[in-house]
Structure formats: structure tokens, C-alpha cells
Amino acid sequence: MKKLLVTGGAGFIGANFVHYWMAKYPADKVVVLDALTYAGNMANLDSVKDEGNFTFVHGNICDQALVEALLIEQGIDTLVHFAAESHVDRSITGPDAFIETNIMGTYSLLKAAKKVWLDGKSILEGHRFHHVSTDEVYGTLLATDPAFTEDTAYAPNSPYSASKAASDHLVRAYHHTYGLNVTTSNCSNNYGPFHFPEKLIPLVVTNILHNKALPIYGDGQQIRDWLYVEDHAYGIDLVLQNGRVGENYNIGGDNEWANIDIVKTISKLVEQEFIKNKALATRFPNAKAAIEQNTESLITYVKDRPGHDRRYAIDATKTNNELGYQPKESFETGIAKTVAWYLDNESWWQSVMDGSYQNWIAEQYSST
Ligand code: NAD
Ligand code: DAU
């Protein structure tokens, strides 16, 4: 039986991981530590919040004393670190929070883990610090380049990816220097339920339902490698169970798409849902283009993201071979499930698209 501390467990991937873990390992104890920034939402944990083996702690990962107390009082043996500022566009307009949470926050967690697990009266054998990272630390690829492996040199290009790269290096150093039992996973773009609607896929679905423009940065030919979020949770599970301490593992779905094609695919799927289910036109009367079956008319090319990485692609051969990892969801089924989830969960996305998000969007577009 494990006792997990999950940082950032009220965010998109963290919450999906908590659902996955509690369903698969019902005897384990799960403590979530989350600062509930604009991206964290208690509604994401609604279905587990009353379980006896679940505890939510509202707090900041930069609060070392709080983390030390949690590790001791809750008897934590496994820390799974998701908490981060995660949106590249926000890192361009306001990098400070990324440096603070992603670098200083990770450093603070490492110090707490070292103090409690290694420097106490006795070393906690079998402890694990798992760091959730991204493919963005590897930089960008040309169309003909091979996909990123764990040996690809780090070359982060945005303040977000630079802050994640710095945190990866700190995690590595705490293993090599102090012997902390760490693992790191570098994953490609996730999609699925609870994805905050500032990110491309949920933004496209919710904008169609509001009959708003679908903004395509630059020429729309940038490529991302999309993975259903539960398959990310499954990959982390395998790393926690059988991954070698001190190692990095790439997690990805071998599923590259140009942005413009993703947007067109989602537009088509929403249109098909409106044909299948006539009640949607009544529930979403503003979704004029979906009702009239011409959602592609909403596609609008806008100014490119500064420093926009052209292509990401993950080579997960090491994780496949060593840990037997294979994604379970196909893109066809995963994206259909995701679109259906957003159509069924209007109250969720309406509630997260509150004042702070709208203000940020307004600021961003007024400055371009
Ligand atoms: P998210 O922005 O949806 O959620 C981040 C969570 O962290 C939120 O609940 C937020 O409240 C919390 N948080 C932020 N700052 C905090 C702090 N200082 N203290 C405590 N909690 C804090 O992010 P996500 O998309 O779920 O990403 C989770 C992790 O996975 C991140 O580390 C990200 O870099 C990594 N990742 C994301 C993707 C992706 O496609 N979204 C892909 C690969 C890796
Ligand atoms: O690759 C993993 C990364 O994926 C994670 O580390 C990040 O936390 C996560 O946010 C995601 O980063 P991206 O920048 O790739 O995701 P985003 O959804 O913001 O954008 C996906 C692509 O779509 C990217 O090329 C930018 C483009 N885009 C995005 C938005 C929001 C648009 O063209 N229009 C948009 O409005």
C-alpha cells in the first residue's frame, strides 16, 4: 500500500491521475496539495473528495515547512509532482510565476523530501519522488528530424519550457548528489476531461459553442503529438511501479497532428454531434455555426506565438521496451470521448471560465 502526495492534483492531469489511481489502487492513501490557482479547480476532484482515503490540502509547494509536515504526518512514501504553471502563452506575457512555481517550487519540494526521507533519524527506504515533465524541454524539431528520445539534448525555447528544464535538472541533481530516489517522465501534449479551456483542444470546442473565432497561430502547420490524459496517468503508474530510480522516461502516443488539422477534426466532430443530438441546438442556441454545419467558417488565422516551437514528437521506445507501455486509447476514440465530455459538462467549463480567465484573455488580445 502506497501513501501518495500528489502536487497539483486539482489541475487537468493531476486530477485525472488521482481518479485513475484511486480507481486502480483503492487501498492506497492519496493526499493532494494544490494552491488552487486559476488552473486548479475543486470540481475536478468532486467524485473522490469524500472518500476516506483522500485528503485535500490547500497550500503552496513553495511552503517547505508545510510539505515537510505533510510528508511526516501523513506518512507519505511517494510524491508525484504535477504542480506547475503550465500554459506557454502565459509564460510569455508573465514569466515570474513560472520561475517561482516551476523552479523554486520544485526546489522547495526536493529540499523537503531530502530532509524528511534522507536526513531524519532513519532513511525511508523505498521512497520515490516522481517529477512530471514535458517534451517541450527538448526544444523543437524539423519535419524530417527523428522524434525526441531521453538522450536528446535539452534546448527549451519558452520561459515555460526553460523553467521545466531547470526543474528537471534539479531533480536529477538531487538523485546524483544526495541519493534521493527520483524518476522523471517527459510527456507529449495531453487532451481529455478537465482540460482548462485556454489550451487548444478545449478552446476550440468551447469557442464553437459560443460561436467565437477559432484562433490559429501563424500558419497552423505546427505539429503536436497528442496523448489521451489517462494514458499519461498509466505511463506514470508504470514508472512508479517498475521505473529505474534516477532515470527519465518519455511518454507519448505516436500521434502527430498539425494544429489546423486538429481544429478541423474537432469542428467536424462537434457538427456530427449536433446532427446526432437535436437537443444540442436548444442547449447551445448561440452555437450558430455548429447548428448551420459550417464551423470551419470560425477558423481565423492570428499572429503567431513568439518563439513558437514548430514540432514536438516523442519516441517512447525506452518506456515501451522497459516498462511494457502502450497507450490504450486511440486518437479516434479519445477525441470523440473528449468532445462528448465537453458537451455534457457545460457547468464545469462555464465555472472555470470565470473573471480571471476572461481578464487574462482580454489583456492578451488587447496587447497584440
Ligand atoms: P494545469 O495548469 O492544468 O494544473 C496545474 C495545477 O497546479 C493546478 O491545479 C494549480 O492550482 C496547481 N499549482 C500551480 N502552482 C502551484 C503552487 N505553487 N503550489 C501548489 N499548486 C500549484 O497543468 P496540467 O496541464 O495538468 O500539467 C500538470 C503537469 O504536467 C505540469 O507539471 C506540466 O508541466 C506537465 N505536463 C503537461 C502537459 C499537458 O499537455 N498539459 C504535457 C506534459 C507535461
Ligand atoms: O507538449 C507538452 C505541452 O503541451 C505541455 O508541457 C504544456 O503544459 C501544455 O500547455 C502544452 O503546450 P502547447 O503550447 O503545445 O499547448 P497549447 O494547447 O497551448 O497549444 C497547442 C498548439 O496550438 C500550439 O502549437 C499553439 C497552438 N494554438 C494554441 C492556442 C491556445 C493555436 O494555434 N491557437 C490557440 O488559440
Give me the half-sphere count of Cα atoms (radius 13 Å) on the Cβ side of residue 233.
23
Q: Which three cell numbers stand for residue 213?
A: 473565432
Question: Can you say whether the dihedral through the CA atoms of 182, 183, 186, 187 is positive or negative?
Answer: negative
CA 34 / ligand 1 centre spacing (Å)? 10
Q: Are 51 and 28 in contact (CB under 8 A)?
A: no
Q: What share of the chain is helix, strand, coil (3-state, %, to 5)?
A: 50, 15, 35
CA 11 / ligand 1 centre spacing (Å)? 6
Q: What is the CB < 6 Å shell around ligand 2?
A: 86-88, 134-136, 188-189, 199-200, 203, 215-217, 222, 224, 259, 305, 312
Coil vs helix vs strand at 364: helix
CATH homologous superfamily of 3-191+227-252+309-329 equals NAD(P)-binding Rossmann-like Domain (3.40.50.720)
Domain ranges of the chain: 3-191+227-252+309-329
Closest CA to 138 of 163, 124, 117, 155: 155
Q: Is the pTM of this model over 0.85?
A: yes
Phi (first) and psi of residue 187, to 5 degrees: -110, 155
Which residues sit opposite 132 in a β-bridge?
Answer: 185
Pocket test for ligand 1, best of 37, 88, 96 (most atoms within 8 A of CB): 37
Ligand 2: which atom is nearest the Cα of residue 204?
36
Ligand 2: which atom is nearest the Cα of residue 84?
8
Please enumerate in sequence order all residues whose Cβ is within 8 A of that of 249, keeping only pairs 6 or more positions apart, or say none: 150, 183, 184, 185, 186, 235, 239, 243, 316, 318, 319, 322, 323
Give the ligand at the shortest distance from the Cα of 56.
1
Q: Are 176 and 245 in contact (CB under 8 A)?
A: no
Q: Are 233 and 23 in contact (CB under 8 A)?
A: no
Ligand 1: which atom is nearest the Cα of residue 83?
7
CA 71 / ligand 2 centre spacing (Å)? 34
CA 293 / ligand 1 centre spacing (Å)? 35
**Catalytic residue from among 34, 77, 85, 135:** 135
- Mark whether 322 is an active-site residue: no
* SS (HEC) of 201-251: HHHHHHHHHCCCCEEEECCCCCEEECEEHHHHHHHHHHHHHHCCCCCEEEE
Q: Which three cell numbers stand for residue 49?
A: 473528495
Q: Which residues in 259-273 are b (16+ Cβ under 10 Å) and which e?
A: bbebbbbbbebbbeb
Our CA dihedral for 318, 132, 95, 137, rounded to 10 degrees, sits at: 0
Closest CA to 84 of 182, 178, 191, 160: 160
* SS (HEC) of 116-178: HHHCCCCCCCCCEEEEEEEHHHHCCCCCCCCCECCCCCCCCCCHHHHHHHHHHHHHHHHHHHH
**Catalytic residue from among 34, 77, 85, 136:** 136
Nearest-angstrom CA–CA distance, 342 and 345: 5
- Mark whether 135 is an active-site residue: yes
Nearest-angstrom CA–CA distance, 335 and 191: 8
Coil vs helix vs strand at 254: coil
Q: What is the pLDDT along the chain (368 residues), one digit of tens a residue?
A: 999 999 999 999 999 999 999 999 999 999 999 999 999 999 999 999 999 999 999 999 999 999 999 999 999 999 999 999 999 999 999 999 999 999 999 999 999 999 999 998 889 899 999 999 999 999 999 999 999 999 999 999 999 999 999 999 999 999 999 999 999 999 999 999 999 999 999 999 999 999 999 999 999 999 999 999 999 999 999 999 999 999 999 999 899 999 999 999 999 999 999 999 999 999 999 999 999 999 999 999 999 999 999 999 999 999 999 999 999 999 999 999 999 999 999 999 998 887 566 666 666 655 44
